[in-house]
């Protein structure tokens, strides 16, 4: 019984502060530490403007990583999200140019995202095809479909009111940052204290045990994919409304960055473990690294290498932690 509980439930049951003390605290320390180191080399890095710009320009990654974290916690993965964000941004922008009411242009990517992801979740849950295969197929469909439909033509001439990302709450909090913070907190609270949120961990940690305790892993899975689609829609909206041009191609490697944020954020690639606070902090750290590399004159060739090193380090640490826990449980 103890071996069943160890992967998911045990970590979910640990005191809040202790769970925070692991990956999330490390990330927070890394974020502050890196800022201080780079600030020593070039104090301009620490200017309020620059720090705000780092958050502003990358908030959509963190938002998408919330849904991605949920998916990975259930023991699945989604590699179609980058392409989906490209498609949703195009849908939203096309509606805006066609003169649809702004509310419609903002809601459409959310609804469409939930539909596409819900469909994928249902195929994974009820047909039993592994998520990596389903989402790989969807990746090709979305990417090819987008180029076919748009012919690679960009969307320009967007109405001013469309630009959600330009809104500043109380005149100084940029909308993308506000959405990132609020979405992360709401998702974290829901996953921590709501039964449905907890079911995500149970599904990923041990589906069999979850079923015995009254959770339907299949329904949970579909729900998680639908939520993931919602967050992808929000991310697409921030992505689309930040600039005056929407590229009608899928941003290449975006899914990689999003998955990296989740994994570096402490979400176990084996399922059952992780928090969205971690993934958001990791998204911030990755954005900070990209900016820092410019500030301290490191060749951008290192960006991907560093991202890769971060992933490897986190996954090795995760597996090491599990091994130790497993050893403890057996003993």
Q: Does residue 10 bind another protein (CB under 8 A)?
A: no
Cβ burial 257-289 (10 Å sphere, 16+ → b, else e) = bbbbbbbbbbbbbbbbbbbbbbbbbbbbbbbbb
Long-range contacts, 315-322 (Cβ 8 Å, 24+):
315/263, 315/269, 318/266, 318/268, 318/269, 318/270, 318/273, 322/7, 322/268, 322/270
Q: Out of 317, 322, 326, 329, which residue is the one contacting another protein (CB under 8 A)?
A: 317
Q: Does residue 184 bind another protein (CB under 8 A)?
A: no
Q: Does residue 247 bind another protein (CB under 8 A)?
A: yes
Q: Does residue 181 bind another protein (CB under 8 A)?
A: no
202: number of CA atoms within 13 Å, CB side? 20
Measured from the CB atom, is 26 or 122 closer to another protein? 26
Q: Does residue 26 bind another protein (CB under 8 A)?
A: yes
Closest approach, Cβ 260 to another protein, in A, equals 13
Site for another protein in 263-302 (CB under 8 A): 287, 289-292, 294-302
Q: Does residue 97 bind another protein (CB under 8 A)?
A: no
Interacting span for another protein (CB under 8 A) from 33-41, 94-102, 220-228, 276-284: 33-41
Residue 182's Cβ-count burial label (10 Å; 0-12, 13-18, 19+) is: exposed
Q: Out of 15, 99, 128, 151, which residue is the one contacting another protein (CB under 8 A)?
A: 151
Question: Site size for another protein, by CB under 8 A?
Answer: 58
Interacting span for another protein (CB under 8 A) from 10-18, 35-43, 65-73, 203-211: 35-43
Q: Does residue 310 bind another protein (CB under 8 A)?
A: yes
Closest approach, Cβ 172 to another protein, in A, equals 14
Q: Does residue 252 bind another protein (CB under 8 A)?
A: yes
Q: Does residue 39 bind another protein (CB under 8 A)?
A: no
Closest approach, Cβ 116 to another protein, in A, equals 21
Nearest CA to 78 out of 3, 21, 138 is that of 138
Q: Summarize as ranges the residues that interact with another protein (CB under 8 A).
A: 22, 26, 30, 33-34, 37-38, 41-42, 44-45, 47, 49-50, 53-54, 57-58, 60, 147-148, 151-154, 156-157, 239, 242-247, 251-253, 287, 289-292, 294-302, 306, 309-310, 313-314, 316-317
């Amino acid at each position: 019984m103890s071996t069943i509980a160890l992967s998911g439930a045990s970590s979910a049951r640990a005191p809040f502060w202790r769970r925070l003390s692991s990956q999330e605290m490390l990330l927070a320390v890394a974020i502050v530490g890196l800022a201080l180191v780079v600030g020593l080399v070039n104090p301009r890095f620490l200017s309020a403007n620059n720090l705000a710009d780092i958050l502003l320009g990358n908030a959509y990654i963190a938002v998408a990583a919330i849904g991605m974290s949920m998916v990975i916690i259930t023991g699945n993965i989604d590699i179609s999200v980058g392409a989906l964000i490209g498609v949703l941004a195009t849908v939203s922008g096309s509606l805006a140019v066609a003169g649809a009411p702004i509310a419609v242009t903002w809601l459409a990517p959310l609804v469409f995202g939930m539909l596409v992801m819900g469909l994928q979740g249902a195929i994974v849950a009820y047909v039993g095809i592994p998520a990596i295969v389903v989402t790989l197929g969807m990746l090709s469909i979305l990417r090819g479909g987008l180029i076919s439909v748009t012919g690679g033509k960009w969307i320009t001439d967007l109405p001013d009111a469309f630009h959600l990302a330009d809104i500043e709450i109380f005149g100084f909090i940029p909308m993308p940052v506000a959405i990132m913070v609020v979405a992360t907190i709401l998702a974290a609270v829901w996953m921590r204290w709501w039964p449905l949120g907890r079911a995500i961990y149970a599904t990923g940690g041990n589906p069999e045990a979850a079923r015995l305790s009254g959770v339907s892993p299949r329904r949970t899975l579909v729900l998680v994919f639908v939520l993931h689609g919602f967050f992808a829609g929000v991310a697409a909206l921030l992505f689309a409304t930040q600039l005056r041009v929407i590229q009608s191609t899928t941003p290449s490697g975006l899914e990689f960055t999003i998955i990296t944020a989740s994994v570096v954020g402490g979400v176990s690639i084996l399922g059952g473990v992780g928090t969205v606070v971690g993934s958001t902090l990791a998204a911030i750290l990755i954005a900070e690294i990209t900016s820092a590399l410019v500030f301290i004159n490191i060749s951008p060739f290192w960006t991907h290498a560093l991202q890769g090193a971060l992933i490897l380090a986190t996954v090795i640490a995760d597996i090491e932690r599990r091994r130790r826990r497993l050893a403890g449980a057996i003993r």
